[in-house]
Structure 1
Amino acid sequence: MKEFIKNWGPFFLILAIFWALYIFVVTPVSVNGHSMDPTLADGQKLITYKLSNIDRFDVVTTKEPDDLDKLAVKRVIGLPGDRVQMKDDVLTVNGEQVDESYLKPYQQKFADDKMQSEYSYNPAFQDIAAGAASFTSDFVYKVPEGQYFVLGDNRLISKDSRAFGFVNRSLIEGEVVFRYWPLNEIAIINN
């Protein structure tokens, strides 16, 4: 028995450490869909950190409140108690204008041709964009305590809090911290 522990003990210890990290600290996830374009693309592989404090503009993985079997990647826009408003593509949080520089590439494409070139792979997306008056439709929400307001960066086609409602903290699985696939796009995800 001592010989077995001596030979295999380190292997099982390392295996137990990796298992504990996977269960309690980090989780790999895949982006499924285009709601976070251009920040994250369909098929990319990410690592989420489960112990993170969730802050405004963090990219997170969350279960969708209306379909708990679906895991979505979204950006936190409103924290508990916030008043979030979008008017004419300008975001204000608690009355203060907020710069969403991560949206600039797609806002420019919307201004250029209403995303028709970008959405050439999907006629349904082209139809949505063609009928849109702005890149992000106007809204006003007061975020309840214990809840979060999340949006996809590709606002025209994203299913997010505007569709499925606020997200309870218990549904947020973690903050996206690292992209590891594809290899030529490995990066730390800064929010």
Structure 2
Amino acid sequence: MKKERKELFEWLKAIGLAIAIAFIIRHFLFSTVVVDGESMLPTLNPFDRMVVNKAGFSISGPKRFEIVVFHASKDEDYIKRIIGLPGETVEYKYDQLYINGKPVSEPYLKKYKSELIDPPLTENFTLEEVTGRKRIPKGQVFVMGDNRRISKDSRHIGTVPVSEIMGEAKLVYWPLPEMRMVK
């Protein structure tokens, strides 16, 4: 009887340790997300499952063109691409991105734009027109979906506090035949 209790206690310790490790990994290092909707097409497909790197993002901070997951509201998380960084101006003219008045290439959209029957992909706008601010505030970023025509992003919800970003999403792990790293 004593041996059985000891064995049960050892099993409970192992299970408890495994749960604690899983909690730490999920809460501080990595998480998963399911792409909901078509706002990131053609880069991400609806129902793609991705790994979100929390630790790497918190160390490096936001970088232009990273795909990030953030809390858009208490009940909803969005996945979008960082376009503008704190202190910058953002403008689109004739389907061209301008940061601080200088043209910036978006290579991840090149193929998508070339396949459009009725351009432009991105309508003209300035940061001030869509947010009421000339520059992105400190501690915030401007995000957009790759499918610009339907994406609900910073043009609609405003700039996103970096503190609301869960992490960077780079790895699609499901469906298995489409496993890949995204840029």
Shorter-normalised TM-score: what interval? 0.7 to 0.9
2:78 is aligned with what amino acid? A
Cα distance in 2, alignment partners of residues 26 and 35 from structure 1: 23
* Letter matched to residue 104 of structure 1: K
Q: CA deviation at 1:8?
A: 4.0
Helix, strand or coil at the partner of 2:169: strand
Partner of 1:55: 63
> What residue is the counterpart of 2:42 in the other structure?
38
Alpha carbon RMSD of aligned pairs, Å? 1.6
Residue correspondences, number = 168
Spell out, residue by residue over 1:71-104, the C-alpha distance to the aligned partner (whole angstroms, 9 max, x if none): 1110000111011111111112123321111112
Q: Which residue of 2 aligns with 1:134?
A: 120
Q: Which runs of 5+ in 2 are unaligned?
A: 128-134
Identity across aligned pairs (percent)? 39
Greater mean deviation of Cα atoms: 95-104 or 144-153: 95-104
> How far 1:5 sits from its partner (Å)?
4.1
SS at match of 1:60: strand
Say if 2:176 is the partner of 1:172.
Answer: no
Runs of 4+ in 1 over 6 A off after TM superposition: none
Unaligned runs of 5+ in 1: 115-132
Name the larger-Rg structure.
2
Which structure 2 residues correspond to residues 78-93 of structure 1 after superposition, within 5 A? 78-93=84-99
TM-score (norm 2): 0.84
Partner deviation per Cα, 1:101-136 (whole Å, 9 max, x = no partner): 1112221122xx22xxxxxxxxxxxxxxxxxx6210
Match of 2:137 in 1: 144
Q: How does 1:67-78 map to 2 (within 5 A)?
A: 67-78=73-84
